[in-house]
Structure 1
Amino acid sequence: MSIRFNFGGDEHIFGEVSEDMSLASFFTGLSMTNAVRQAGIKGVTEICPANASFQVRFNPDLIKPQDLLMELQAMEQAAAKSDPVLDTRIIELPVYFQDPWTHETLLRFRERHQDPSSTDLEYSARINGYATVEDFIAAYAGQPWFVSMVGFVSGLPFLYQMVERARQIQAPKYLRPRTDTPKLTVGHGGCFAAIYSVRGAGGYQMYGVTPAPIYDPQRKVRYLTDEMCLFKPGDIVKFKAISRDDYDATLEAIEANTWQPVVRDAKFSLDNFNKDIAGTNAKLMELLK
């Protein structure tokens, strides 16, 4: 399927790879944005990748819209022939599931939920066919996730679980959004996990919190001095379930600025992943040991 291009006002071209999210769609969009960046096209001012789409901003005084469109269409043909292999990173992120802060928050907004009698974890476990919350958490933290985009809120990653489509965890958003969500909440909506980089409104199911800052515009956090956002599209994330004691100890180390997440360089091949999902994931997670 070819990319569907549309003009957005006078300064944008939007490329829709697919209406459905998939790693193949993401890789096509990533290949396109990388190609635009490497080409150094005069007049291109901003490139924004998303889950299964991308947007390019340009200065129409420096390049005609139709000329840029022709450039993008030529890049699409080249991208279709490229081998979908990505030099990336795998990041281990500690998560305190069933924490008291998201629990208190979900109780305050129960009338906005599909099942006011259950917690978000209980509801999500049930609709995904898991016998217990513990089984659900084990599945959630048991396989890696792919960062498909960062945005909507500064530093907020959207993550796509790297399992067979039939096994992907799915959960609807709240019937009506909350006006409050604790900072660093791990939430879920549709097929995407997300980590709330700041406190604010939200509608995703809430499963836990991470003690690790993922966005620091002041760049004071030890591992965010070079980049204010921890995640970037193409990163792979492995959640690590931790206890309250582990959470408190990690938070103490973060406040002392002595802690940093485990990050390893990795190479990801989409073809190899599609041939052997379990084997590919096992090799990725082995890098964290």
Structure 2
Amino acid sequence: MRYTFGGDEHVFVEVDEAMSLDAFFRSLSITNAVRDSRIRGVTEICPANASFQIRFDPDLIAPDDLLGELRRLEGAGAGGGELRTRIIEMPVYYGDPWTHETLMRFRERHQDPTATDLAYTARINGYPDVPALVAAHAGSPWFVSMVGFVAGLPFLYQMVEPERQIQAPKYLRPRTDTPKLTIGHGGCFGAIYSVRGAGGYQMFGITPMPIYDPAQTISYLREFMIFFRPGDIVKFRPIGREAYDAAVAEVEAGRFCPLIREVDFSLPAFQADPAGTNAALLGVLHG
């Protein structure tokens, strides 16, 4: 691990040069240990994909003393690899009209102006058609490696063997518009756009399930405005227009309730048997 100071109030820690489930898990484990240790002077903890950053008050803890505390906690990231977390089912309307209209407005910025984002991603990943890509995208769980860049936006890592991961480049030039709650994909990462705005990820669909509500009026976001947290596991569920409209109506009426289950995740067990671990996770979700 590599430590560097960022000004007078931050320590940046690089866990690994490569992004992987191991790196995500180690970053999450160490930042959880920092939180649980309640180190005097630590004011913010921000885990990322293969790194993390700590903000501290130098009037309460000297930089070198904080560095010593962090080094002491390094072993937390190399422990048993066990995590108590949540698995969440998220409905997705793949190939929806709103992301389709948007992607058509920005075809000159895309690698293949003649194809939709779904069709392009299916082709470069060797899938015979869009339904096969959708089945692969929705068929396995996704691990939330970090939340941020835009408030409430989760980055997700597909929980399959590396050779089976969906890969897709970002747009040649970023769009100036992306619909709110778009399901996107760039590199090996998925993302859910928490708000409308610029973006460069391939657009696969849209979810009716809000994940960010600064007003905290949505029923399941009243305690905290941001839904996702690092370590969450997400399972996408394909839906059509009728189910999408019904879910939007449920959200507006305050009756929408995401399907969430508490679950134990073991990194060693997943690495030994990804398919078996995923089947067990989905069994908890629908058991």
Q: Residue 62 of structure 1 corresponds to which residue in structure 2?
A: 60
Unaligned runs of 5+ in 2: none
Q: Residue 288 of structure 1: CA displacement? A: 2.1
Q: 2: CA distance between counterparts of 1:37 and 1:288?
A: 28
Look up the SS of the partner of 2:73 in the other structure. helix
Q: Residue 31 of structure 1 aligns to which amino acid in structure 2?
A: S
Q: 2: CA distance between counterparts of 1:284 and 1:90?
A: 7
Q: Residue 136 of structure 1 corresponds to which residue in structure 2?
A: 133
Q: 2: CA distance between counterparts of 1:105 and 1:206?
A: 9
Q: Residue 42 of structure 1: CA displacement? A: 1.2
Q: Residue 48 of structure 1 aligns to which amino acid in structure 2?
A: C
**Counterpart contact for 2:30–2:76, Cα < 8 Å:** no
Q: 2: CA distance between counterparts of 1:25 and 1:198?
A: 28
- What percentage of aligned pairs have identical amino acids? 67
Per-residue CA shift, 1:89-133, capped at 9, x if unaligned?
A: 000000000000000000100000011011000000001110000
Tell me which of 94, 97, 100 is aligned to 1:97: 94
Q: 2: CA distance between counterparts of 1:77 and 1:240?
A: 37
Q: Residue 234 of structure 2 aligns to which amino acid in structure 1?
A: V
Written as runs of structure 1 = structure 2, the 5 A alignment for 1:2-81 is 3-80=1-78
Q: Residue 148 of structure 1 corresponds to which residue in structure 2?
A: 145
Tell me which of 268, 272, 283 is aligned to 1:271: 268
Q: Residue 188 of structure 2 aligns to which amino acid in structure 1?
A: C
Q: Residue 252 of structure 1: CA displacement? A: 1.1
Matched, 1:124 2:121: yes
TM-score using structure 1 length: 0.97
Q: Residue 88 of structure 1 aligns to which amino acid in structure 2?
A: T
TM-score using structure 2 length: 0.98
Written as runs of structure 1 = structure 2, the 5 A alignment for 1:233-244 is 233-244=230-241
Q: Residue 27 of structure 1: CA displacement? A: 1.4
Q: 1: CA distance between counterparts of 2:182 and 2:226?
A: 16
- Equivalent pairs counted in the alignment come to 286
Q: Residue 39 of structure 1 aligns to which amino acid in structure 2?
A: S
Unaligned runs of 5+ in 1: none
Tell me which of 184, 189, 196 is aligned to 2:181: 184
Written as runs of structure 1 = structure 2, the 5 A alignment for 1:208-227 is 208-227=205-224
Look up the SS of the partner of 2:89 in the other structure. strand
Q: Residue 134 of structure 1: CA displacement? A: 0.4
Q: Residue 60 of structure 1: CA displacement? A: 1.2
Q: Residue 5 of structure 2 aligns to which amino acid in structure 1?
A: F
Q: Residue 79 of structure 1: CA displacement? A: 3.5
Per-residue CA shift, 1:201-237, capped at 9, x if unaligned?
A: 0000000000010101111111111121111000000
Q: Residue 78 of structure 1: CA displacement? A: 4.5
**Counterpart contact for 2:93–2:244, Cα < 8 Å:** yes
Q: 1: CA distance between counterparts of 2:233 and 2:76?
A: 25
Q: 2: CA distance between counterparts of 1:31 and 1:137?
A: 32
Q: Residue 94 of structure 2 aligns to which amino acid in structure 1?
A: F
Q: Give the CA RMSD over aligned residues.
A: 0.8
Name whichever of 26-35 and 143-152 sits farther off. Answer: 26-35
Runs (4+) of structure 1 exceeding 3 A deviation are: none
Q: Residue 77 of structure 1: CA displacement? A: 3.2
